[in-house]
Structure 1
Amino acid sequence: MSSAQAVVTAILFVWLGMVLAISFLEAPLKFRAPQVTLPIGLGIGRMVFRALNTVEVVFAVVTVVAMLFTSFRGVSVAVVIAVLMLAGQLLFVRPGLTRRSNAVLAGEDAPRSNAHYAYIALEVIKTLALLIGGILALIDAVV
């Protein structure tokens, strides 16, 4: 296994773990905790997702650069899908979610947003792409 292959494989699995832990565990659970109001949950969520998305962008850039130095076959398709889903979340979905959370945090009575469903759909696709990419990278690196 080359250094670039090891980097790609490691990043895909760490990225997958972060998305699973934050998006599918932390995010829904925080609103069930006692004393956590909607504004508090949104404030925490904004900070957590800003940090997650920042790390994801770094992971995406490092992965794409490392892929230039590997001979992975099917992994590149999975990486492209994951990166496109992340870009979709950041460029098209997050701005609407940010506007709503800004309104709620400012004390306005903002209507519920359907943008969460789009974010979750992209997150599920990204998660599957990371899982498949990681598995293919592991198989490809060993073979």
Structure 2
Amino acid sequence: MTVDELGTYGIERMDDEAIERFLSVRSVGILGLPASGPPYLLPMSFGYDGGRRLYFSFLVGEESRKSELADRADVCTVLVYSAETMFHWRSVLLRGPIRRLSAEERSELPASQTPTWQPELIRTASDRGETRMYEFEAESWTGVSHAIRPPAYDERSSRD
């Protein structure tokens, strides 16, 4: 079914303003990089510029598949979602190019646009490994939301 057909069930398309508001309060998504087989999917924290750009910090060692794939990618995708309950969730899919920032570009990036949340493991490991900053520019995005009032307890069907 299409999003429009699902409208009767409470699915709504998000407009640009709603997508921007959603991205401004989220900090984690799934980065999908093209690979020779299935896409390479990574949960990643990100910074957001309030417009169309997300920023990712990669922790890399001598070999880094994500860095190698990102450097070769013409286009990639990012999925950012929130699922508070089965009755209230939002999802935004972004598509566009990703590129590694130079040391100069990285130093000029405001702290407000760098990833604000990262697992402690990444923070600790970054003291011993190299980090690279990547900029993703959304050339297109789509968002959907579902926010309905849950049925009363006695209206719900049981799976027992």
TM-score, length of structure 2 as denominator length: 0.25
Q: Which has the higher contact order (CA 8 A, sep 6+)?
A: 1
Q: As a proportion of its length, which structure holds more helix?
A: 1
Relative to its length, the structure with more strand (as a share) is 2
TM-score (norm 1): 0.27
